[in-house]
Each structure stands twice: as C-alpha cells, then as structure tokens.
Amino acid sequence: MKSEDTPFEGGPMDGRVLPVLVGMTGHPPKTYRIPVPAPDGGPPTVLVYRRVPRDRGRVGMARWKYAYDPTGKKGARRKWPWSKPDSTPGGKPDDADG
C-alpha cells in the first residue's frame, strides 16, 4: 500500500507529520482516529482529526492535512429510506391485508 506524509494541525498532534495510508483514489481517510491509553488503565481517549484541503504549496507535497476535531463526533451518515425498521408489529406494511 502507498502512504503519504500528512501534517496534523491542532490538538496534541499539532505540528507532527505522519505517514498515512492512502486509498485507491490517492486520498487519505476522511477521519483519522488515534487511541491514547489512559494512565490509570481505564478506557482509552480517542483523538479525532478530520481531513481538510491543504494550502497550495510546493509540488509533490501532500494535498491534504488533518485538523483536530475536539468534539470527536462521528460525521453525518446517509440514511437510506429502505434501511428504516418497520414501524408496524409483525413487520408487515399498513396497507397489506392478507
């Protein structure tokens, strides 16, 4: 797999450049999650970085950078109408008499 040196901006990773695997399109993932272990052995804290366009710089430099997202919420996902659970008991549509 191919990787690209990608800069991180904001948060604890500010100023660091890490090699990030790129997909078939040559783009790194839209979100980059970094689990940080808790010192007391509790659940890890997850740092969330979002991919944003990078300023045009020298040729050959990464086209993307990651910006820190302090909220850490997942992005909006598409909700398909056919993926909704049935609202009627038994899973039959309301107009099915039968």
**pLDDT of amino acid 30:** 93
C-alpha distances (whole Å) from 77 to each of 8, 45, 63, 80, 86 are: 24, 23, 24, 9, 20
Given a contact cutoff of 8 angstroms between Cβ atoms, the answer to whether 45 and 35 are in contact is yes
Q: Give the number of other CB atoms < 10 A from CB of residue 7.
A: 17
**pLDDT of amino acid 54:** 85
Strand arrangement of the beta sheet that strand 64-68 belongs to: 17-21, 3-9, 64-68, 45-53, 31-36
Q: Tell me the per-residue pLDDT of 18-57, one tens digit each, with 9 for 90 and over.
A: 999 998 888 899 999 999 899 898 889 899 999 999 876 6
Indicate the pTM of the whole model.
0.67
Does residue 92 register a pLDDT over 70?
no
Does residue 82 register a pLDDT over 70?
no
**pLDDT of amino acid 68:** 95
